[in-house]
Amino acid sequence: MADIRLENLSKDFDGFLAVDDVNLTIRSGELFSFLGPSGCGKTTLLRMIAGFEIPRGGRIMIGDQDISELPPYKRPVNTIFQNYSLFPHMTVYDNVAFALRIRKSPKSQIRDQVRNMLALVKMGDQAQKYPAQISGGQKQRIAIARALINNPKVLLLDEPLAALDLKLRQHMLIELMNIHDAVGITFIYVTHDQGEAMSISDRVAVMENGRIVQHGPPDDIYERPASIFSAYFIGETNLITGEVMGIEDEYVQLRCPMGNGEFFEIDSTVHFAPTLGRQLTVSLRPEKIAISRSKPRAQEDFNILRGTIEDILYLGTHTQYIVKVGELRFRVFSQHKRVYFDEKALDWEEPVWLFWHDTDSWLIDEVPESGSPSLSHDVTNVYQRWVKRQQSNGI
């Protein structure tokens, strides 16, 4: 068992830096994800580990072995390709047996191992079918069996669920975790879907423009984003910019412009040492904010704001409110429970109170550049408009 170390790894295509000086250690047996928007370099990184791209600089180490220059067929690594790349002219059985036949394993051994592998992915009764005769989920299982039979030290998965529908995706995600537990090897998972990455991974690396901007356990990245990009790319968030007005132990008081010349104040805990007068950004997850028609009783460690409901979007598991505070718009998620603050449902244009605990606001030592996501340019899509019109017409 051996860790994978990426050392100063970089790759360019015609001068475009796809992967930029990446340093990372992936621990043996870990389920590690690279998460980022398309073009962030995550797939290039995976292809370098697989051997389909040769790095421009840096090294890829598995244990003490430098594999950066080895051809793909000499690496102790196997890949699950995005559209599975099963061999169409071979049966399921032959696909899974492929690696063993290349290695010229004895026939009886091939038969036993293929059977075991097909049993592991629950495809034992489909051995004689051709890839064209099985479903997407089944192809996925065969791709996994075909890769694992090779006994790799590392399994690379390149957006493996992208081609499946939602229900199947959720099912396969659990299946993948089970398989990971069963075989105990390192899985490296590449995806642009933050939900997948969060639910499956031991650790996640968030990538932007060829660089790793943050890595750590999923809850760490969600609750404690290191940059505006991490905060915004993973989950939804409200970003509020303000100036440091006071510092008291681990608490900071921010003065935030509302965009209409007025200001409000936000208290937050802080994990770094800001200076007075510094511009910072607060990341506030929509589900951390409580919304109510009646004013909450004043509490020391709560931030309380007054705003007006601008949009309501019913989403089944929760409702999303867009609440206007000054010129700023807050996104608030509220679950539907009987035991809640308001007897009667909140309505459009209604004045409401927003409140959240000081420890739920997270400070980022960064200010949004113009054009990047912030509260003032928030989405209000056509659907929301349509819902609103329906409601105001009394339908």
Looking at 6, 60, 99, 352, which residue binds another protein (CB under 8 A)? Answer: 99
Is residue 106 involved in binding another protein (CB under 8 A)? no
Q: Which helix (H) or strand (E) holds 89?
A: none
End-to-end, the C-alpha distance of the chain in Å comes to 63
Write down the least CB distance from residue 49 to another protein, Å: 11
Q: Is 278 helix (H, G, I), strand (E, B) or coil?
A: coil
Asked if 255 contacts 229 with a C-beta cutoff of 8 angstroms, the reply is: no
Write down the least CB distance from residue 132 to another protein, Å: 13
- Nearest Cα to Cα of residue 373 among 331, 314, 343: 331
Is residue 276 involved in binding another protein (CB under 8 A)? no
Looking at 29, 81, 136, 199, which residue binds another protein (CB under 8 A)? Answer: 81
Looking at 11, 139, 146, 288, which residue binds another protein (CB under 8 A)? Answer: 146
Q: Which is nearer to another protein, 125 or 300 (CB)?
A: 125
Rounded to 5 degrees, φ, ψ at 66 are -85, 115
Is residue 138 involved in binding another protein (CB under 8 A)? no
Distance CA 384, CA 277 (A): 38
Q: What is the CA radius of gyration of the chain?
A: 25
Rounded to 5 degrees, φ, ψ at 261 are 90, -15
* Amino acid identity, position 112: D
Identify how many contiguous H helices and E strands the chain contains and give both numbers. Answer: 9, 20
Q: Which is nearer to another protein, 94 or 378 (CB)?
A: 94
Q: Which is nearer to another protein, 21 or 53 (CB)?
A: 53
Is residue 316 involved in binding another protein (CB under 8 A)? no
Is residue 98 involved in binding another protein (CB under 8 A)? yes
Is residue 386 involved in binding another protein (CB under 8 A)? no
Write down the least CB distance from residue 89 to another protein, Å: 5
Distance CA 118, CA 126 (A): 9
Q: Give alpha helix (H) positions in 201-350.
A: 218-223, 228-233
Scan residues 20-79 and list those touching another protein (CB under 8 A). Answer: 50-52, 71-73, 77-79
Q: Which residues bind another protein (CB under 8 A)?
A: 50-52, 71-73, 77-79, 81, 83, 85-89, 91, 93, 98-99, 102-103, 127-128, 146-147, 150
